[in-house]
Structure 1
Amino acid sequence: MPLAGAAAAAGAGTLAWGYSELERFELHTHELPILEPGALRGTGEFRLLHVSDLHMIPGQEAKTAFLNALDELDPHLVVNTGDNLSDERAVPDVLRALGPLLARPGLFVFGTNDYWAPRPVNPAKYLTGAKREPSYVDLPWRDMRAAFLEHGWRDANQARHEFKVGPVRIAAAGVDDPHHDLDDYDEIAGAPNADSDLALALLHAPEPRVLSRFAADGYQLALAGHTHGGQICLPGGHAIVTNSGIDPKRAAGLSEFDGMPLHVSNGLGTSKYAPVRLFCRPSATLLKITERRG
């Protein structure tokens, strides 16, 4: 039995390490030169902060401190791509964590874990990539949505918006969570306003059937979350599964989809029933959007 004991010890050690990674938050920064020359009117760059998958539980002080500190980046726009909750009591914690960011211009879409409480998961089923049925136990998402709106953030679930942030004219559209077919792209279909400087597409889960329509309509940048970057990854952050239709190579970070830039966030949390990350630390991303060169 020495071999079995060694295997059990190694497994326990891996789980302990994966649990310890939950509070090793990282900030990723990318430059994205996608604006027409002159769009920034000499301001240099447009800073977009992308946060996703907070999965807040009361008492997560390290996560709250990390999110509060992101305001020091002075983002022009905050985009939140959903799954903020992992507990029915966590709405005040979400608002406290987002804190100063709520005073900035913001857009949001929801994931199913904003609407319904998490449920215990079978890790083996997760690694097969099988879709898990929601609990359908309601979370207080209406209260959270109302607070976001009161602070001036725009709800992009099944909606289109046009507004300016500084000199930049933004056209944004979003869908409700496509992972469980809550979306209806036809409701927001069509090209973004041609007079906009930056056309943003928002969705929680990066499902190809929706991304392809955003790309065909001419959006310049799609933002999504949901995958947790794979959550249980191989060394180097290589995702094994994505819990969505997107391929593992595009489970985190910047890539392209049908010629449209796509950013998928690693997310900042996990379900309270699966508190582990391997080779995939929680993160937020600052996208420095600049004008195309030449």
Structure 2
Amino acid sequence: MTETSDTRAAGSAADPPRPGGLHRLMRYLPLIAPVLLWAVPCWLLLHAGQHWPLPVTLTGTFLFALGLVGMPFAMVRGHGRRQQDAAAIVGDSLLGGIWVLFTWSVLLGVLLRLALTVAGVADGEGRARIVTWAVLGVTAALLAWGYAEARRVPRVRRVEVQLPRLGAGLDGTRVALITDTHYGPLDRARWSARVCDTVNTLEADLVCHTGDIADGTAERRRAQAAPLGTVRATHGRVYVTGNHEYYSEAQGWVDLMDELGWEPLRNRHVLVERGGDTLVVAGVDDVTAESSGLPGHRASLQRALDGADPAHPVLLLAHQPKFIDRAAAAGVDLQLSGHTHGGQIWPFHYLVRLDQPAVAGLSRHGDRTLLYTSRGTGFWGPPFRVFAPSEITLLVLRAPAAGTP
């Protein structure tokens, strides 16, 4: 008995295993990443063989250092407790701008130098300056284009989706999907109204919003969200929460959407009936809801499908694509999601792919389940979209052709 006790005591006193190098790196990544974002372009554009006049080098270096210090400061004041919209706009714009500049500094810093070498351009100040001006030109063009893409009313993307269990009476059902509107520091009330006008031209049977309505509370962003009350649909307008609702008093957004005539599908379902056939339209809270601490907020597919006839096809609204594992296990026919923004600013989609099973478009998961991931209707943070255009989606549901097993 004594030996066992001593062994346990020794075991409990043993030092815990030390974290590996990768774990330590990830812990410091929030500190390392901003330094790299600003330091790499600064070095490549100002110090890597260009030999600019000293005032140019000093001024440029000072501006990069100012950005390194100012960007996190502005973002904290903009997105922290103070919620200062002007600071958020500055911080978000700096983040988007330096991400694009960093990306193309690295790409052109390598590829263009290689191309110039192959072309016989001697290494030296001339070649370095060609690279610098090319990087600045590409960055400026992409940011101008990306800003216009972010602020425009999204194009309508039409997608036909065949669901083997869909009854013939529901063939041709039109489902309009908007998501990730992210009403925020930049006032987009007019943009919101134009988006809703575009949705109304689609003459949808069902309109869905799969979350991340805004950044900020419902009271603060009410004017931007108000046009959602004008959206029309034959069979209803349904909504589920996204993770950003849980940063901004989620229940307030649920209440406002209800007030605007949208039906919040908080772990519940409604039925769409047409031509003698029935479609189950279910929704779940975002997967982050449970950790928010709000009473009654959590994702439960079991509750959402409780009482639904298992013979009927199921259309599920879930904000994040990674809910698809649970949806496929439950035999859901089609899940609609957003969250990813399609990466929003290339090549960020490679990082999104580490967390989500799909970034954009239609994908199959398991034998029955399809997932449609929208690139989002608005934008989060940086007011830019580069190679990841926003969308309003019209999904046309198709029943199997007669005689198809």
Q: TM-score range by the shorter chain?
A: 0.7 to 0.9
Worse-superposed segment, 144-153 or 62-71: 144-153
Query: What displacement does 1:11 show?
Result: 2.1
User: Which residue of structure 2 aligns with residue 242 of structure 1?
Assistant: 352
Query: What's 1:10 paired with?
Result: 138
TM-score (structure 1 length as normaliser): 0.77
Assess if the C-alpha contact under 8 Å between 2:269 and 2:305 holds in 1. no
Q: For residue 180 of structure 2, what is the amino acid of its counterpart?
A: D
Aligned residue number for residue 128 of structure 1: none
Larger Rg: 2
For the aligned residue pairs, the C-alpha RMSD in angstroms reads 2.8
Give the residue type in structure 1 aligned to 2:319: H
The one-letter code sitting in structure 2 at the alignment partner of 1:144 is: W
Tell me: higher relative CO, structure 1 or 2? Use CA pairs within 8 A at least 6 residues apart.
1
Structure 1 partner of 2:253: 144
The CA deviation at 1:52 is 0.5
- Provide closer, same or farther for how the CA distance between residues 149 and 243 of structure 1 changes in structure 2, counting only shifts above 3 A: farther
Query: Which residue of the partner structure matches residue 378 of structure 2?
Result: 269
Query: Does 2:314 align with 1:199?
Result: yes
2:363 aligned residue (252, 255, 263): 255
Deviation, 1:180, is 7.0
* Residue 74 (structure 1) aligned to one of 199, 203, 206: 203
The answer to whether the 8 A contact 2:189-2:223 is kept is no
Contact 1:91 1:143 in 2 (8 A): no
Work out the CA distance in 2 between the residues paired with 1:251 and 1:275: 19
On the 8 A contact 2:206/2:233 being kept in 1, the answer is no
Write out aligned runs for 1:42-81 (5 A): 44-57=171-184, 58-81=187-210
Q: Is the 8 A contact 1:173 1:188 kept in 2?
A: no
Counterpart AA for 2:132: A
Report the residue type matching 2:236 in the other structure: P
Is 1:185 paired with 2:303?
no
Match of 1:221 in 2: 334
What TM-score do the two structures reach when normalised by structure 2? 0.57
Structure 1 position 252, deviation (Å): 0.7
Q: Aligned with 1:73: secondary structure?
A: coil
Change (3 A) 1:190 1:77: closer
Residue of 202, 208, 215 corresponding to 1:86: 215
Residue 12 of structure 1: CA displacement?
Answer: 2.8
Change (3 A) 1:186 1:75: closer
Flag the structure with higher helix content: 2
TM superposition shift of 1:98: 5.2
Deviates more, 1:100-109 or 1:19-28: 100-109
Identity score, percent: 25
Q: More strand by proportion, 1 or 2?
A: 1
Q: How many residues align?
A: 261
